[in-house]
Amino acid sequence: MSDALNIAIAGLGTVGTGTLQLLDQQAGLLVERAGLPLRVVAVADLDTGRDRGVALDNIACFDDALKMVAEADAHVVVELIGGSDGIAREVCEAAMARGRHVVTANKALLAHHGMELAGSAEQAGVALAYEAAVAGGIPIIKALREGLAGNRIARITGILNGTCNYILSAMRDTGKEFDEVLAEAQALGYAEADPSFDVDGVDAAHKLALLTAVAYGCAVNFDGIHMEGIRHITSRDIACAEELGYRIKLLGITRRLEDGVEQRVHPCLIPAGAPLAHVEGVLNAVAVEGDFVGPTMFEGAGAGALPTASAVIADIVDIARGLRIPAFGRPVAELEEAPSAPMENHCGAYYLRLSVADRPGVIADISAILRDGDISMESMLQHGRAETSSGAVSVVMTTHETREAAMAQALAKIAALDSVEEAPCMIRMEAV
């Protein structure tokens, strides 16, 4: 390596610009931490002429990222383009083929193609680093792979998407419905124009797939994740959860079970006193349980220019110092092909919200269905007639622990009752 670590950055969006800012403003500190200067020699973007508030003097500018990889004298290529395929994947593959280390913030790319890219990195003898891909500025990949290396991980529970966390927090604070709060989040820049990846749980699932692989030494298995979003959550659910002593959060949860690895992303009722219940707004948090360390929790900014850039730079400093750890903690050939634990085998408590006709015998019919499914009811709330032409009443029930398969069968029977006016809303309850 030369007297400096030469860096080429593909993508000058929010994170790319933040990375340039951090490298400039912390240059002296980074020399101390890395052992040599970190020097940006090239950038690539479709519009390198736009003023982003960062100087590009003495930096080669390309409008073609692949051309930059081919021509720039770089030791490290930082991929900040995004997307699970296309140019982002091509840039990473081309960089490794030329013997360049790769740093990326691209969770979608790694969730879908991480195994292939990790294998390519090993063959090329280069690093594939992605601290910035999971939970923004929170150093959770390094914590799992290095700081907690002496532990068997029992469970990871995370608030992994700031957009969903903001929406659910705002719904609780304001009493507004999902659509209205989503529009406000879009206006503030917390949600994309097409928010599907965020609110349908896909973004959180991408991150969970990577956490699972590192935690358990298994192959990345995005397709094995049970995934639900938050579109069906109403202000009534938020208020009822509060009344019951809970808060609603979108969680990513992974556990190693006897029948395989469980990976699930969905809304949960969690106790209002739990640490994760107090993670508000756009913040992320990851709770990790190790057999020797016990419960630990990491909280911080899950997105944004400078927090994410902080994670990008952490990977670059490791590379400058010569730290080489396989992408998922062990070589690809040693990663286990662990089966996915079937979601129908999940056992837990449930919250149910039903809109039912206000007439005698309705609750008895529902209770009979739950009884026949061996589902024990723990509590019930009823708040009178809803403002509908039918005069339906909203009934909320919580159950004791039961199997997912039994709950699914019971819900199908409840939905078929002529006294039930809307599809039941079911939210799982978690003792985090």
Burial of 90 (0-12, 13-18, 19+ CB in 10 A): middle
Known active-site residue 413? no
Q: Rounded to an integer, what is the distance from CA 14 to the centroid of its chain?
A: 19
Contact at 8 Å (CB) between 101 and 129?
A: yes
- Residues 285 and 322: their CA atoms lie apart, in Å, by 29
Q: How many CA atoms lie within 13 A of 241 on its CB side?
A: 31
Contact at 8 Å (CB) between 385 and 358?
A: yes
Q: Could you please report the per-residue DSSP string of 253-314?
A: EEEEETTEEEEEEEEEEEETTSGGGG--TTEEEEEEEETTTEEEEEEEE-SSHHHHHHHHHH
Of these residues, 67, 107, 176, 207, which one is catalytic? 207
Residue listed under structure tokens 């809307």: 422
- Residues 217 and 332: their CA atoms lie apart, in Å, by 9
- Residues 402 and 348: their CA atoms lie apart, in Å, by 5
- Residues 375 and 363: their CA atoms lie apart, in Å, by 14
- Residues 185 and 196: their CA atoms lie apart, in Å, by 13
Residues marked as catalytic: 207
